[in-house]
Structure 1
């Protein structure tokens, strides 16, 4: 169960980082 929780946390972190990158990319887009 600890492995599942760790994988879920890693997935959430990667998702948030990817969302921030996409937001910055579209925000600076003219």
Structure 2
């Protein structure tokens, strides 16, 4: 998971923003 997030952040701010939203959703579900 962390590797995916770091890779998204490196690709672009937009993708990193999406990954952050996904993280928040996962945390909310848990």
Taking structure 1 as the reference length, the TM-score comes to: 0.59
Per chain length, whose mean CA-contact separation is higher, i.e. which structure has more relative contact order (CA < 8 Å, sep 6+)?
Answer: 2
**Structure 2: stretches of 5+ with no match in the other structure:** 1-10
Q: Which runs of 4+ in 1 moved over 4 A?
A: none
Look at both structures and tell me which one has the larger radius of gyration over its CA atoms. Answer: 1
Taking structure 2 as the reference length, the TM-score comes to: 0.59
